[in-house]
Chain A
Amino acid sequence: MQATVAASAIYGASGVGNWAKLAAQQALTQDDLLGFDTYGNITLVHVTDIHGQLKPIYFREPEINLGVGDVSGLPPHVTGQDFLNLFNMTPGTPEAYALSYQDFTALAKTYGRMGGLDRVATILNHIRADRPDALLLDGGDTWHGSYTCLKTDAQDMVNVMNALKPDAMTSHWEFTLGIDRVNEIVESLPFAFLGANIFDAEWDEPAYEPYKFFERGGAKVAVIGQAFPYMPIANPKWMFPGLSFGVREERMREVVQEVRDQGADLVVVLSHNGFDVDRKMAGQVDGIDVILTGHTHDALPEPVMVNNTMLIASGSNGKFVTRLDLDVQNGQLMGFRHKLIPVFSDVIEADKDVAAVIDAERAPYEAEMAEVLGRTDSELYRRGNFNGTWDDLICNALIEEREADIAMSPGFRWGPSLIPGDEITREDLFNATSMTYPNAYRSEMTGETIHVILEDVADNLFNPDPYYQQGGDMVRVGGMGYHIDVSKPQGSRITNMTLLKTGEAIDPAKTYVVSGWASVNEGTEGPAIWDVVENYVKRKGTITIDPNKSVQVTGA
């Protein structure tokens, strides 16, 4: 582990600080969370995968996050107690609550909700008081994920983020607003929208700015954007026709060389590749000093080093802000100081100006969002490679409301959590389902087709080469159990598919009624998923999710 995680002895200091001890004294304060001895000549501030979350939320980190091939057992593929052991943390402490899943409900009640962009604003104010020209870099998945974001075509997020004054961003879900809306927003942005790997598909030319230079602390800082590589595959390509993405490692190599030739003293990649893709890219492309990772929602309290490249993982949903101070002299990175700042919303005060902007964006929708649909007796969360209780709820709703044998819910990573006893409001439901292609289809599939789909999705997650990993977690399946050996090649991972209601094996030749949502195919018909789930929750009143034992995993 010491080889991959930067030990503070190498050439810098990092970590989460000593909030554990402070919490034991019931004295967790804003000063403790924000305390930082300003260092070097450059400060980078990283936020990513906010997914439309303006207000504080609960977000349960994954219990199952398997790595395959070379990255098996390496961060971020370490969870729960193993994570705490790796980073020398104690169960029950604030950092254990923020960074792992154990005792989530109890700790959520103790330490409260996290995030809120008005709290993030306070952190930024604090950092900028020390270092006025700190660079704020947003890794994308910002203009998606909430009721207000959907209803305003993301104008709420644009307005609030503008108030935080970012210097650059890159993208993924942004493009599901449709290409016209994206370009309309991009033209209005007072900062750079970067994507070196976004190309015009017809002319094979760069479609957006690849990088931007900033003069900071007497050094030239090049920030290169890398959008989500598998946009037209993982999300509906008909929404942004004419754009091509891809990892495009050769292009990254060229762009790094280009900015070095122009005198860059520090090369930063603001990436939405996902952690394992970034880790591979860092090993293949020389000359990158820092990769600010995104997409896979990992939060790591220390940088991960790959040769001379530092990988930073800053979590999701506004739960964390990373501050990275760097000492750059004559084109050389001499040292760093790093802190993953947890945004405890009850400890960090809201910035009044940004809170007012947030309230103004939400005001027209407050009444509809606040409507209580039901209550949950179970933790509702999404993260995990194979299932999460939010998707169990969605699959149960699809099976009952759509009269299906089998339900499928995509392996998204976004969506905050609820704890037992919480009301389920319409806002909560939209936090887990909001999107621009929400139709819940109902169709007939043979057992063979279902098997092909599961094998296809499994390879997109468990291909040993990260460049062939396309997107989210495993598709969640309701009404059907299966066995998966993640170590096998595509076509032989999935076995023992069983229809749960009868206990019978799935017959490859037989036809089953399957209901799902978020199809990438144009013209998908059916009611919006939030209507399906709302009807179900209202009918049930109280939601209880039984432990999901329908997926048996081996080979990890």
Chain B
Amino acid sequence: MQLTRRDAIALGAGAAAVATLPMPAFASATADELIAAFTGGAEMGEGGLTLTAPEIAENGNTVPVSVDAPGATSILLLATGNPTPGVCTFNFGPLAGSQAASTRIRLAGTQDVVAVAKMADGSIVKASSTVKVTIGGCGG
């Protein structure tokens, strides 16, 4: 039997090191409310958090987004222009090899994707990236 990478990932899924927690309690909250709840109203700085997203989505239904914040304990990810802005919160335990995660999200239209990271010392940093969702065509 050949074990493809797809099978291997399916087998490994149960043991994923990063827990992705959906946020049903905040389903109707605005992006600002979600950030306030996550940060407790603390001041947000910049730097130390890398948010990688395409400038223009190749498919608005599945947009690859990555976050990387060395030393973070938790990263909140928001699609600010979606009817339900909350995407997920990545929590990193003390044994996590790196504080980075990737996922794919659906975007209702052109909007800012925002990540907010809580660092081990309690400080908060934010990063934002505009992702354009376009009709396409006309590539000269």
A residues near B (Cβ < 8 Å) are 172, 201, 203-204, 228, 230-235, 237, 244-247, 250, 295-297, 410-414, 452-453, 456-457, 459-460, 463, 465, 467-468, 470-473, 475, 490, 518-520
Q: Which residue of A lies closest to B134 (CB)?
A: A456
Interface of A is mostly: loop
B24 at the interface (CB under 8 A from A): no
- Tell me whether B56 and A470 are in contact (CB under 8 A): yes
- Shortest beta-carbon distance from A315 to chain B in Å: 14
Known: A203-B5, A204-B64. A457 touches B56 (CB 8 A): no
- Tell me whether B140 and A230 are in contact (CB under 8 A): no
Q: For B139, give its contact among A244, A453, A470 (CB under 8 Å).
A: A470
Q: Which residue of A lies closest to B58 (CB)?
A: A232
- Tell me whether B137 and A520 are in contact (CB under 8 A): yes
B13 at the interface (CB under 8 A from A): no
Q: Which residue of A lies closest to B131 (CB)?
A: A468
Contacts of A230 in B (CB 8 A): 56, 139
Question: Which among B5, B52, B58, B140 has the highest number of chain A CB atoms within 10 Å?
Answer: B140
- Tell me whether B55 and A459 are in contact (CB under 8 A): no
- Shortest beta-carbon distance from A230 to chain B in Å: 6
Q: Which residue of B lies closest to A476 (CB)?
A: B138
Q: Which residue of B lies closest to A463 (CB)?
A: B132
- Tell me whether B137 and A410 are in contact (CB under 8 A): yes
Which residues 40-86 of B sit at the A interface, judged by CB distance below 8 A?
A: 52, 54-59, 64
Closest 9 pairs (CB-CB, A-B): A234-B139, A472-B140, A471-B139, A413-B140, A410-B138, A232-B58, A467-B55, A233-B136, A472-B138
Interface residues on B, range: 20 to 34
Contacts of B132 in A (CB 8 A): 459, 463, 468, 470
- Shortest beta-carbon distance from A71 to chain B in Å: 17
Q: For A237, give its contact among B58, B102, B110, B130 (CB under 8 Å).
A: B58
Which residues 1-23 of B sit at the A interface, judged by CB distance below 8 A?
A: 5
Q: Which residue of B lies closest to A204 (CB)?
A: B64
Q: A237–B59 Cα gap in the complex (Å)?
A: 10
Which residues 109-140 of B sit at the A interface, judged by CB distance below 8 A?
A: 110, 130, 132, 134-140
Q: A203–B4 Cα gap in the complex (Å)?
A: 12
Q: Which residue of A lies closest to B102 (CB)?
A: A204
Known: A203-B5, A459-B134. A468 touches B139 (CB 8 A): no
- Shortest beta-carbon distance from B49 to chain A in Å: 14
Q: Which residue of B lies closest to A467 (CB)?
A: B55
23 A-B pairs, CB-CB below 8 angstroms? Answer: A204-B64, A228-B139, A232-B58, A233-B56, A233-B57, A233-B134, A233-B139, A234-B136, A246-B54, A247-B55, A410-B138, A457-B138, A459-B134, A460-B138, A468-B55, A468-B56, A470-B56, A470-B134, A470-B136, A472-B138, A472-B140, A518-B138, A519-B137
Q: A519–B136 Cα gap in the complex (Å)?
A: 9
Q: A16–B130 Cα gap in the complex (Å)?
A: 41
Contacts of A465 in B (CB 8 A): 55
- Tell me whether A235 and B139 are in contact (CB under 8 A): yes
Q: A237–B62 Cα gap in the complex (Å)?
A: 14
- Tell me whether A295 and B137 are in contact (CB under 8 A): no
- Tell me whether B56 and A412 are in contact (CB under 8 A): no
Q: A464–B130 Cα gap in the complex (Å)?
A: 13
Q: A230–B132 Cα gap in the complex (Å)?
A: 12
Q: Which residue of B lies closest to A518 (CB)?
A: B137
Contacts of A414 in B (CB 8 A): 140
- Shortest beta-carbon distance from A231 to chain B in Å: 8
Q: A101–B116 Cα gap in the complex (Å)?
A: 51
- Shortest beta-carbon distance from B12 to chain A in Å: 15
Q: A201–B63 Cα gap in the complex (Å)?
A: 11
- Shortest beta-carbon distance from B113 to chain A in Å: 14
Contacts of B55 in A (CB 8 A): 246-247, 465, 467-468
Contacts of A475 in B (CB 8 A): 137-138
Q: A471–B55 Cα gap in the complex (Å)?
A: 13
Contacts of A228 in B (CB 8 A): 139
Contacts of B5 in A (CB 8 A): 203
Question: Which among B55, B102, B134 has the highest number of chain A CB atoms within 10 Å?
Answer: B55
Q: A465–B132 Cα gap in the complex (Å)?
A: 12
Contacts of B136 in A (CB 8 A): 233-234, 470, 520
Q: A204–B130 Cα gap in the complex (Å)?
A: 21
Contacts of A203 in B (CB 8 A): 5
- Shortest beta-carbon distance from B123 to chain A in Å: 24
Contacts of B52 in A (CB 8 A): 250
Q: Which residue of B lies closest to A237 (CB)?
A: B58
Q: A411–B83 Cα gap in the complex (Å)?
A: 34
Which residues 76-115 of B sit at the A interface, judged by CB distance below 8 A?
A: 102, 110
Contacts of A463 in B (CB 8 A): 132
- Shortest beta-carbon distance from A460 to chain B in Å: 6
- Tell me whether B138 and A412 are in contact (CB under 8 A): yes
Q: A472–B85 Cα gap in the complex (Å)?
A: 32
Contacts of B138 in A (CB 8 A): 234, 410-412, 457, 460, 471-473, 475, 518
Q: A186–B117 Cα gap in the complex (Å)?
A: 44
- Tell me whether B58 and A246 are in contact (CB under 8 A): yes
- Shortest beta-carbon distance from A203 to chain B in Å: 7
13 new A-B pairs (CB below 8 Å) besides A296-B140, A519-B137? A172-B139, A232-B58, A233-B56, A233-B136, A246-B56, A246-B58, A410-B138, A463-B132, A470-B56, A470-B136, A470-B139, A471-B138, A473-B138
Q: Contact mask B24-39 → A, CB, 8 Å, 1/0? A: 0000000000000000
Q: A295–B139 Cα gap in the complex (Å)?
A: 10
Q: For B140, give its contact among A245, A411, A452 (CB under 8 Å).
A: A411
- Shortest beta-carbon distance from A198 to chain B in Å: 12
